[in-house]
Structure 1
Amino acid sequence: MSDYLIKATAFEGTVRAYAIKSTELVEEARKRHDTWATASAALGRTMTISAIMGAMLKGEDKLTIKLEGDGPTGPIVVDANAKGQVRGYITNPHVDFDLNAKGKLDVARAVGTAGNLSVVKDLGLKDHFTGQVPIVSGEVSEDFTYYFATSEQVPSAVGAGVLVNPDHTILAAGGFIVQVMPGASDEAIDLLENRIATIPPISTLIREGKSPEAILNILFGETNLNILDKLPVTFHCPCSIERISNAIRGLGNDEIDDMIKVDGGAEATCHFCNEHYHLSPDDLSKLKQSEELQ
């Protein structure tokens, strides 16, 4: 079952709900960045939630999320859009610790318990929407819950989890976001609070083969749920040798000459997908020539 997310409403449209299976997405990020177990969980939780937040957008809209705590992982940066395309990186991928007191990966220790979570939305307008809140726990899900309540003023429950195999590959990853809209009844809110408090860990449900639809049915019951859309989710980075070449061309002929004579070529690595690009002196000369012809 490939990764995808579900958009739904419940209780006559007074509750919005999203659920995602993101195992392949997180595994692709792990392979590209060689993340160790705790770093995988931190990056995976952030990418999972970011994928859902991207799906809340429309058309060509996109967002960038930065989780910057005082822990050893350093900043985590994720891009996501309304098409289910996600990319991300963690500054220090080689972070791992013993399990915490609850027997889980110690994500809070890796991320840190002080710092900021920022969300920048590009909605195609002149100015971008930017929201920023302090990190409240470093567990990621709780930090996003606080972000929604504080920055967007939407009461939300956010859950994300990642299970890692002994060989550091990703066994299961997924998440959900439930948002209460104005007009929701006290009965609906009480039911949701009880269900969310007792639902098994989301990564456990994914490992057991539960689909995003099944996860929302656990939360709401089939009679309350109205599924609106299903969206494939993939790791996607638009970087390319053409983009790198255009960036180098923009530096001008003097800089290109230095790359040819001093460096013997040019190397570039994309932070988001870790793809490596090499341009030989001949490649650079062609860029210089094309610049001269313009």
Structure 2
Amino acid sequence: MALTERAGMPERLDSYLAAWGLSDPKPLAQTVTSHVYTVSYKGTTAVLKLLTDAGWEERTGARALDYYGGHGAVRIFRYDDHAQLLEYVDGEDLIPLVKRGEDERATEIIANVLNKLHQSQPGVHLPALTPLRKWFRQLFARADRDRQQGVESIFVRAATVAGKLLSESEPPHVLHGDIHHENIRYSARRGWLAFDPKGLLGERAFDAANTLYNPVAMPALIEDEARLLRNAGILSRALGIDFNRLLSFAFVYGCLSAVWWLDDGKEPGSELRIAGIIERHIEYPLRH
């Protein structure tokens, strides 16, 4: 269903206001994947997302939020293939904490949020989400092309490591898939909460990987080798995940992220530099 604009708002807005009992819409943000509004819902402020045709990842993300049930993440009140009604959190994200020199504290908060997200929900079946092997398909494709051209690139090495990790993974968890400092906000009532998940199924260690590449606007910080190892250690201990396995997932994640940029015809940012630093510290054979 395509979006058309009327008075600066998507045409579908009125239909969702009526169907879901919403009022007082105010534009909050507009991205490639959605038009976002604050609305009044049952006497409180909520967030209404109207998805664009590019918002397919938001649809799997809604199923992940539904599974989490508010444990470590914003609550989702209503959703369908074209819209989502979410809990509104107006507190700050983790960037100010890092800017105040509390980078390690921010990492501890991220680990605490991940532990909440990764708790199994008794009696709740795993939703239909994207498995990690499918999520890595572009890395595997890039590595195959490089091999065929006789190039032993970092993507070839990363694909080999990813294949090993994915072949011996633990039972799958519902993963956020995009945890970083700007996707966690503070709620005065409920503490630190994640939002905007991709909605993946796989090993918990993958959810810690992206954190080591963030905040992206601070390249001097995130490319610091000591900082990478220090924060990886914090995540490993807090999550109960083998340090080497966490580093391995961080390495393959960085290479996957670089492939996304390259496949879009753009140059990667810090991803390959950080992945190169991490690769030097991976010990083989890999283990749980």
Shorter-chain TM range is under 0.3
Higher strand share: 1
Q: Give the TM-score taking structure 1 as reference length.
A: 0.26
Higher relative contact order (CA 8 A, sep 6+): 1
Q: Give the TM-score taking structure 2 as reference length.
A: 0.27
Of structures 1 and 2, the larger Rg is shown by 1
Higher helix share: 2
